[in-house]
């Protein structure tokens, strides 16, 4: 089935280069009108010119996603100009890598502010417009650093995993309003990763190989509450699961029983992906091991 984004308007943050540029170009190729957001005026205007040369429509908007007033202005001007914000790709980010022992807390806060609060700012500004129109596609950029950990990236990993939690709840809240919310965890060679990996490690990790995932998540028939991993042309799904676990109850030696049961608690046989946070509670109070 061919994806057609004609008539849709997309906002892509951090789109003046790297992954954001690839995302913006890919969405434009499928017919979307694109607002190219970036801190760099040169970067934003260059990508807009690329899209126009391809026969698409695009506008630049230069601001930081941490500037709430500027973000609100960007969304409002997009709605004024094109009538809607249908697709939002939260891609803007920074790195401040150091081990936690050596990390300045200002660097921790800065990364959380851009990745997490920047995504919150832009999504909040667009959310009411999407609800009013009963349509929206929101994509958050998470990372394997958050999902699985990465040495020297406590700040980045914490911010990226927080976006998964945000996605889980917004997908539930947006469902009845036609808003589908997902996460993308990309592996790509960009300016942000150039000092982290060797040239051999980065071979084949073109950002252009990730962006088809964004197009699929922006489509009318996109899923919701999905964590899509993408890199080198491969695509996978990550899940936050819950094992069957054990029921111990109010035994006086409950801590010792837990200690003796780690292997059973960790056993992934019959694990599940809970439909919501409340599913954990329902599983626990109705645990199959309960005898009363």
Strands lying side by side in the sheet with 9-12: 58-62, 33-38, 9-12, 87-90, 136-141, 179-187, 227-231, 234-238
Q: Which of 135, 156, 197, 281 is catalytic?
A: 156
Mean pLDDT of the chain: 95
Neighbours of 72 (CB within 10 A): 15
pLDDT tens-digit profile of 243-260? 999 999 999 999 999 999
pLDDT tens-digit profile of 140-169? 999 999 999 999 999 999 999 999 999 999
pLDDT recorded at residue 189:
74
pTM for this model (two decimals): 0.94
Q: How confident is the model at residue 202 (pLDDT cuts 50, 70, 90)?
A: low
| Residue 172 pLDDT > 70 | yes
Structure tokens at 19: 């992954």
Q: What string of H, E and C letters represents the secondary structure of 31-77?
A: CCEEEEEECCHHHHHHHHHHHHHCCCCEEEEECCCCCHHHHHHHHHH
Mean pLDDT of 196-206: 69
The second-level CATH assignment, the architecture, of 9-238 is 3-Layer(aba) Sandwich (3.40)
Mean pLDDT of 262-287: 94
Q: Where are the domains of the chain?
A: 9-238, 241-292
Is residue 156 among the annotated active site residues?
Answer: yes
Q: What is the rounded CA–CA span in Å between residue 117 and residue 120?
A: 5
């Amino acid at each position: 089935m061919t994806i057609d984004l004609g008539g849709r308007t997309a906002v892509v943050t951090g789109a003046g280069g790297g992954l954001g540029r690839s995302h913006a170009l890919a969405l434009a190729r499928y017919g979307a009108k694109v607002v190219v957001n970036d801190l760099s005026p040169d970067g934003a205007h260059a990508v807009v010119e690329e899209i126009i040369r391809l026969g698409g429509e695009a506008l630049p908007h230069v601001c930081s996603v941490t500037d709430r007033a500027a973000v609100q202005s960007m969304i409002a001007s997009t709605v004024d100009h094109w009538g809607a914000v249908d697709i939002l790709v939260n891609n803007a980010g920074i790195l401040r890598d150091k081990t936690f022992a050596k990390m300045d807390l200002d660097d921790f806060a800065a990364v959380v502010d851009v990745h997490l609060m920047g995504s919150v700012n832009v999504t909040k500004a667009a959310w009411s417009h999407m609800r009013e129109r009963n349509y929206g596609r929101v994509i958050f950029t998470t990372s394997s650093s958050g999902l699985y950990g990465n040495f020297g990236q406590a700040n980045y990993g914490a911010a990226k995993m927080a976006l998964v939690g945000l996605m889980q709840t917004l997908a539930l809240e947006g469902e009845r309003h036609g808003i589908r919310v997902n996460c993308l965890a990309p592996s790509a060679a960009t300016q942000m990763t150039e000092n982290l990996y060797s040239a051999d490690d980065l071979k084949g990790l073109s950002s252009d190989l990730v962006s088809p995932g964004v197009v699929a998540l922006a489509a009318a028939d996109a899923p919701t509450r999905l964590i899509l991993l993408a890199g080198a042309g491969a695509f996978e799904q990550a899940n936050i699961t819950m094992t069957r676990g054990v029921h111990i109850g109010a035994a006086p030696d409950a801590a010792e029983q837990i200690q003796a049961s780690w292997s059973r608690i960790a056993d992934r046989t019959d694990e599940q992906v809970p439909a919501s946070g409340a599913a954990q509670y329902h599983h626990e109070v109705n645990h199959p091991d309960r005898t009363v």
